[in-house]
């Protein structure tokens, strides 16, 4: 129901449903409004809720509304209740703040765009880090029954989680009997990373029925593993060259 009033006016019931509005309100507000909440910017909803219960007299507050031509229009809101219905009048604060509103709108859109770009870059970085972890522990078949997994860089929890998924999948599909892990190119070893690596060794042991083989353990690694009280279900070999000679 449209009302012939010279101001932006909306009539609502106790549930906030719009019962009628003036032509000025139709010209000012977004055309998608079915409830009073639809007229307001989301950040103003909490402020609006305080005035949606019947009260005596008239109350006013300032809020951003969703305009037909501008998503953020600063207005003085005047509300009064008459039994089960409220009368709401929107008074734009004036053209003197229009420039500020436009700048605010532009800033919000730029921030939204920046947030999306940062989100995309974050996802790309995470994908790159995952790919880097995959390349830090490639599962390389040497023969039908033998596979080689060189580990590069630091032994960390996140890296071992990625390596574990790829190694278990490849080991299951290939049904390898002898799997060799080479620590020659590894750097630092932290405790969470060692725990994940231990879990991988045990799972491969259960799958293949025999322990994995470790080669390339440096004195530094031996000291770190001893400090962490590591008890891996593995065989230790001297080098890949000797292993290949034994199996040739």
Q: Give the residues across from 213 on adjacent strands.
A: 180, 235
Asked if residue 97 has pLDDT above 60, the reply is no
Q: What is the pLDDT of residue 40?
A: 92
Q: What CATH number should be reported for the domain holding residue 71? A: 3.30.450.20
Q: Are residues 180 and 239 in the same domain?
A: yes
Residue 89 in contact with residue 58, Cβ under 8 Å? no
- Asked whether residue 127 is domain-assigned, the answer is no
- Higher-confidence position of 242 and 13: 13
Closest CA to 12 of 79, 60, 59: 79
Q: Are residues 92 and 34 in the same domain?
A: yes
pTM for the model stands at 0.48
Q: What is the pLDDT of residue 247?
A: 65
Q: What CATH number should be reported for the domain holding residue 234? A: 3.30.750.24
How long, in residues, is the chain?
248
Residue 52 in contact with residue 16, Cβ under 8 Å? yes
Distances (CA, A) of 87 to 31, 150, 207: 19, 74, 73
Closest CA to 71 of 44, 33, 42, 105: 105
DSSP state letter for 185: T
- Asked whether residue 239 is domain-assigned, the answer is yes
Asked if residue 96 has pLDDT above 50, the reply is no
- Higher-confidence position of 125 and 47: 47
Q: Are residues 152 and 237 in the same domain?
A: yes
Q: Are residues 149 and 85 in the same domain?
A: no
- Asked whether residue 106 is domain-assigned, the answer is no
CA distance 218 to 90: 76
Number of domains present in the structure of the chain = 2
Q: Are residues 86 and 148 in the same domain?
A: no
Interval 103-152: pLDDT, tens? 777 777 877 777 777 777 777 777 767 777 777 788 888 888 888 888 88
Closest CA to 162 of 133, 136, 128, 199: 133
Range of the domain at 206: 134-247
Residue 155 in contact with residue 193, Cβ under 8 Å? yes
- For 78, half-sphere exposure in the C-beta direction (CA atoms, 13 angstrom radius) is 10
Interval 201-228: pLDDT, tens? 889 888 888 888 888 888 887 787 777 7
Q: Are residues 150 and 236 in the same domain?
A: yes
- Asked whether residue 122 is domain-assigned, the answer is no
Which of the four pLDDT bands, split at 50, 70 and 90, describes residue 3?
low
Percentage with pLDDT > 70 across the chain: 90
């Amino acid at each position: 129901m449209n009302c012939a009033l010279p101001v932006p006016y909306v009539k609502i019931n106790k549930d906030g449903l719009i019962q009628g509005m003036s032509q000025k309100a139709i010209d000012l507000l977004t055309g998608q409004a079915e409830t009073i909440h639809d007229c307001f910017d989301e950040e103003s909803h909490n402020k609006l809720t305080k005035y949606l219960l019947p009260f005596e007299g008239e109350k006013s507050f300032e809020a951003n509304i969703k305009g037909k031509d501008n998503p953020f229009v600063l207005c003085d809101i005047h509300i009064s209740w008459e039994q089960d219905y409220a009368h709401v009048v929107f008074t734009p604060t004036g053209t003197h703040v229009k420039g500020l509103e436009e700048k605010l709108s532009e800033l919000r859109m730029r921030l939204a765009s920046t947030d999306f770009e940062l989100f995309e870059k974050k996802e790309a970085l995470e994908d790159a880090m995952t790919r880097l972890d995959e390349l830090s522990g490639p599962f390389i078949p040497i023969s039908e029954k033998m596979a080689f997994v060189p580990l590069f860089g630091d032994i960390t929890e996140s890296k071992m989680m990625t390596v574990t998924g790829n190694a278990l999948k490849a080991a299951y599909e290939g049904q390898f009997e002898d799997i060799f892990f080479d620590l020659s190119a590894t750097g630092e070893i932290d405790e969470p990373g060692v725990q994940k690596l231990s879990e991988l060794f045990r799972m491969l042991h259960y799958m293949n029925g025999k322990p994995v083989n470790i080669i390339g353990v440096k004195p530094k690694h031996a000291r770190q593993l001893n400090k962490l009280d590591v008890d891996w279900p593995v065989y230790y070999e001297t080098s890949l060259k000797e292993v290949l000679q034994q199996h040739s």
